[in-house]
Amino acid sequence: MFLPQDAIEAMLEKCGISGWDHFYLSCEVGLRKDSGKLYQHVLNHENVSPSEIVMFGDNERSDFQIPADLGLQAIHVMKPSNLLKAIPRFADLIPDARSASPGEQFVFGAIAAENFSSVSFPQFSADDMFRSAQQIGYGLLGPIVLSFCQWLERKVAEDGLKCLHFLAREGKFLKRAFDLWQRTRPHPTKTEYLLISRRAITVPCISEISDALDIASANDFYGASIESFLVERFGITLDDATWIEIERRKLWQRDQPLEIRNGSVEHLKPLIARIMPEIISEAQAERESALTYFKRMKLDNKESAVVDVGYGGTIQRHLIKLLGTEISGLYLVTDERGHDWGVQSGVSVNGCFVEGASRTPQASPMFLHSFLIEKMLSASDRQVMRYTGDGEIEFRDFQENEDKGADTRTEMQDAAIKFITEAATIRDDLLGEFTVSSKLCETLFARFSTHLSPNERRVFENLALDDFYCGRGIVN
């Protein structure tokens, strides 16, 4: 390799190789391995026999055949790129280096170097696209989030945005990544982390029964108690006397679980009509506190956008309703509800990877398997329940097993940050601006998510998310 010795030494040290007594470099001594003369030079200089030297290298001829013919103990090390190509889900994705875009060169080169730079791989399995949380974070989450950050930069410039508000809780990591990617920009976009949830923003917006029915029907509910539903969707707890009246009027049985499927809430309408005074009272109590918090976060202007995973723009829509100000929405994925609402209302609702998705077998895997994305992006923080007083935050009480997999998620996200850090270094010091295409990221995710290996499945089974809003509790 015709690079100066100090450059080669720095590369070796980065790979954990150091402590040599002598360094033989072809361009320094004027001899090459492929002629065999460099090996003869080493043998003479060290005054040793060929059998006393072990040669490690990835070139089949100059690192293996020639030293073996000379009597050295030669061990062939597979090239990282060849090992990557040995994985069926990667094999036909890797472009020819001569025709690959700078973004493709970086993504596949970085994944190969990160995952396959060891001398040996005793646990290698071609079934694994990424076998560990660290590999998933670096090679899958890293490219997806980097592509999203680059898209956000373009949208900021196109739409004249001044501030991006990243929504809790997935937005916590997205903000960290975006701030890192912008770190060396001369004029970075201002970012804020907005403590918010569907529950916290929708209840203050209720003013009539149609609002309550919209909240009830917006998300399915999977068999938890009716009392849990009323707390999660409307923030109310009914007293015993009210429940006695409800049961007497046969509106609902207190111990009867609730199921909502496909947005159908006909069976709930009589109950919701009866408890509207309690719902309105709670909404009014929360409204001023919510307004105080959002105005303090400077959300009441048209130069702001909310940033989140997606899908239907529920939080964005209710922020606009509460504040009376147009706010853009920038998402990884939007579904058809969010897309259609944006078109009809004239509000900007944009998805980076998928726009207007519907839940059909033909839909993008990034929409169909979005739960995997949420698991990777989430934060091990308690959920926001409501705003109180002068815009203070009330969080959900900690639940058992809520933090299951927190260490795994941290390992995954730290690896993604490493990928983005290296991408920023390559951008600033070598390539200049380059783009990791959203289509490439979609393809990587599709290959990964539709054929999870046992090792990959175990990583995600170790990650938990809470979904009390839909009556599922802690979900693995």
Q: Is 51 within the bounds of a domain?
A: yes
**Mean of pLDDT values over 352-361:** 95
Q: Where are the beta strands (DSSP E) in 367-472?
A: 384-388, 392-395, 465-467
Point out which residues pair with 166 in neighbouring strands. Answer: 193, 307
Average pLDDT, the chain: 94
**Mean of pLDDT values over 22-51:** 93
Q: Is 49 within the bounds of a domain?
A: yes
Q: Give the CA distances from residue 412 to residues 351, 384, 403, 442, 468, in Å, rounded to whole numbers and listed in that order.
A: 24, 24, 15, 19, 25
How confident is the model over 304-325, as pLDDT tens digits?
999 999 999 999 999 999 999 9
Per-residue pLDDT at 1 exceeds 60: no
Point out which residues pair with 348 in neighbouring strands. Answer: none
**Mean of pLDDT values over 434-460:** 96
Joined tokens for residue 37: 């003369």
Q: Give the CA distances from residue 42 to residues 37, 38, 150, 258, 450, in Å, rounded to whole numbers and listed in that order.
A: 9, 6, 49, 78, 51
User: Whole-model pTM?
Assistant: 0.91
> Over pLDDT 90: what percentage of the chain?
83
Closest CA to 298 of 199, 169, 161: 161
Q: What integer pLDDT is reported at residue 28 of this predicted model?
A: 87
Q: Is 39 within the bounds of a domain?
A: yes
* Sheet of 328-335, strands arranged across: 190-194, 163-167, 304-308, 328-335, 349-357
How confident is the model over 182-205, as pLDDT tens digits?
999 999 999 999 999 999 999 999
Closest CA to 357 of 407, 406, 295, 313: 313
Residue 198 and residue 216: Cα distance in Å, rounded?
12
Joined tokens for residue 458: 């175990």
Q: Is 38 within the bounds of a domain?
A: yes
Query: How far apart are the two ends of the chain, measured CA to CA in Å?
Result: 49
**Mean of pLDDT values over 447-458:** 95
Residue 347 and residue 224: Cα distance in Å, rounded?
35
Amino acid letter at 48?
V
Per-residue pLDDT at 64 exceeds 80: yes
DSSP 37-81: HHHHHHHHHHT--GGG-EEEES-IIIIIIHHHHTT-EEEEPPPHH
The total number of structural domains that make up the chain:
1
Provide the pLDDT confidence category of residue 13 given band limits of 50, 70 and 90.
confident
Per-residue pLDDT at 380 exceeds 60: yes
Range of the domain at 63: 22-77
Q: What integer pLDDT is reported at residue 428 of this predicted model?
A: 96
Per-residue pLDDT at 400 exceeds 80: no
Joined tokens for residue 19: 């402590």
Joined tokens for residue 231: 């707390």
CATH number of the domain at 27, please. Answer: 3.40.50.1000
Report which of residues 467 and 411 the model is more confident about.
Answer: 411
Q: Is 349 within the bounds of a domain?
A: no
* Strands 328-335 and 304-308, sheet pairing: parallel
Q: Is 34 within the bounds of a domain?
A: yes
Q: Is 249 within the bounds of a domain?
A: no
Q: What integer pLDDT is reported at residue 16 of this predicted model?
A: 80
Report which of residues 118 and 223 the model is more confident about.
Answer: 223
Q: Is 37 within the bounds of a domain?
A: yes
**Mean of pLDDT values over 214-238:** 96
Per-residue pLDDT at 78 exceeds 90: no
Q: What integer pLDDT is reported at residue 14 of this predicted model?
A: 80
Other Cβ atoms closer than 10 A to 464:
22
3-state secondary structure of 138: helix
Q: Which range among 23-32, 218-227, 351-360 shows the weakest confidence by mean pLDDT? A: 23-32
Q: What integer pLDDT is reported at residue 402 of this predicted model?
A: 67
Joined tokens for residue 374: 């949420």
Residue 61 and residue 371: Cα distance in Å, rounded?
47
Roughly what angle, to the nearest 10 degrees, separates helices 142-159 and 171-181?
70
